[in-house]
Chains A and B, each alone.
Chain A
Amino acid sequence: MNCKSVIREISDYIDGDLDLSMRQELERHLEHCEDCKMVVDQTRLTVDVFCDSKPVELPADVKSRLHGALRRKLHEKSV
């Protein structure tokens, strides 16, 4: 497997979606290619920092408008 193939498969590798033989081939390449190893680690880290970021609390004005609209809708339905 060459560097181009590693890059093509990087997403499936990170997600654990590669079949065993392909994964082993890719990992053999990573053992001797420092650049590809860095790209794999950094791409995984990229996914992790976004995935682990928590949503902020809803801004008070946005929350107030959302719940106002909901109450109108709920009231409308119950009338």
Chain B
Amino acid sequence: MLCVTFIDARARTQPPIGLLMPLSATNPHRLPSTVARDDEHLLVAAAKRGDTHAFEELVNRYEAKIFRLTMNITRNREDAEDAMQDAFLKAYAHLKDFQEDSRFYTWLVRIAANEALMRLRKRRPNQFSLDEPVEGEEDLMPREIEDWGPSPEQRFAQTEMHEILSEVIDKLEPDFRVVFVLRDIEELSTEETAKALGISVPAVKSRLLRARLKLRQRLDRYFRRGVTH
């Protein structure tokens, strides 16, 4: 319930999420994330030369996204904060090792995801494993198929939508949740997600499919036509 406390605390001070964009139904290819601004490589280069202000600017730019990532993986505010803090400290300590063959943000996400996973494993040693194969296909078939009606962004206020998304992702099994978070929220590629988690591309795809179908199933009770909250 810590995540609920987090949402409530945020809701009092500012809107919790931005406007939801319309569906990109005609174009299944997502545009690359716009998180990397043009000057990112300049800041990284300056930080590598020892410019601490440049590193602080990188932190300011990505701290909210990294905290969302660690919260989404750990679902525990204390762990999320520790993971975020250690991720930035490690990034600073190992900045000279960053080869710039990927975006700085992607590199940072990998470090933060590992920090968050470490804490998740510690807290739930018997409930979380990315090594085990996922179950068969029997559970894949959707049980309820109802019309969702008008688009959710038109029906729900931002705070309400944030609460719904938080609640459904909280209930997703950690090994599915981690893949979904990296792939669909942080917009890492399938290969980057596999590399970050140390699992194969087919394992990422199989978990992503299940995560998406399970989340669709859980959103159904909120989004189906005629449901009001």
Q: Chain A residues in contact with chain B, CB under 8 A?
A: 3-4, 7-8, 10-16, 35, 38-39, 41-59, 62-63, 65-67, 69-70, 73-74, 77-78
B203 at the interface (CB under 8 A from A): no
Distance between Cα atoms of A21 and B165 in the complex (Å):
35
Contact A46 B205, beta carbon cutoff 8 Å: no
Chain A residues within an 8 Å CB radius of B48: none
Contact A16 B18, beta carbon cutoff 8 Å: no
> Which residues of B1-50 have CB atoms within 8 Å of chain A's CB atoms?
6, 9-10, 14, 16-18, 20-21, 23-25, 28-30, 50
Contact B141 A4, beta carbon cutoff 8 Å: yes
Contact B148 A45, beta carbon cutoff 8 Å: yes
Contact A16 B10, beta carbon cutoff 8 Å: no
Q: Is the interface of A mostly helix, strand, loop or mixed?
A: helix
Give the interface residue-count category, chain B. Answer: 35 or more
**6 smallest A-B Cβ distances: which pairs?**
A54-B18, A55-B68, A16-B28, A11-B209, A55-B64, A52-B21
Contact B64 A39, beta carbon cutoff 8 Å: no
Q: Which residue of A lies closest to B6 (CB)?
A: A59
Q: Is the interface of B mostly helix, strand, loop or mixed?
A: helix
Distance between Cα atoms of A18 and B27 in the complex (Å):
14
B153 at the interface (CB under 8 A from A): yes
Contact A11 B88, beta carbon cutoff 8 Å: no
Contact A66 B92, beta carbon cutoff 8 Å: no
User: Which of B9, B25, B140, B219 interacts with A44 by CB under 8 Å?
Assistant: B25
B142 at the interface (CB under 8 A from A): yes
Contact B30 A38, beta carbon cutoff 8 Å: no
Contact B17 A70, beta carbon cutoff 8 Å: no
Contact A48 B141, beta carbon cutoff 8 Å: no
Contact B140 A8, beta carbon cutoff 8 Å: yes
Contact A16 B142, beta carbon cutoff 8 Å: no
Interface digits, B146-186 against A, CB 8 Å rule (1 contact, 0 not)?
11100111000000011001000100000000001000110
Given that A13-B28, A42-B220, A43-B212 are contacting pairs, would A55 and B85 also be in contact in the complex, using a CB cutoff of 8 Å? no
Chain B residues within an 8 Å CB radius of A51: 30, 184-185, 187
11 residue pairs bridging A and B, Cβ less than 8 Å apart:
A16-B28, A41-B25, A45-B148, A45-B151, A46-B212, A53-B161, A54-B17, A56-B16, A57-B10, A58-B64, A73-B89
Chain A residues within an 8 Å CB radius of B147: 38
Given that A39-B216, A45-B152, A48-B23 are contacting pairs, would A11 and B81 also be in contact in the complex, using a CB cutoff of 8 Å? no
Chain B residues within an 8 Å CB radius of A7: 140-142, 213
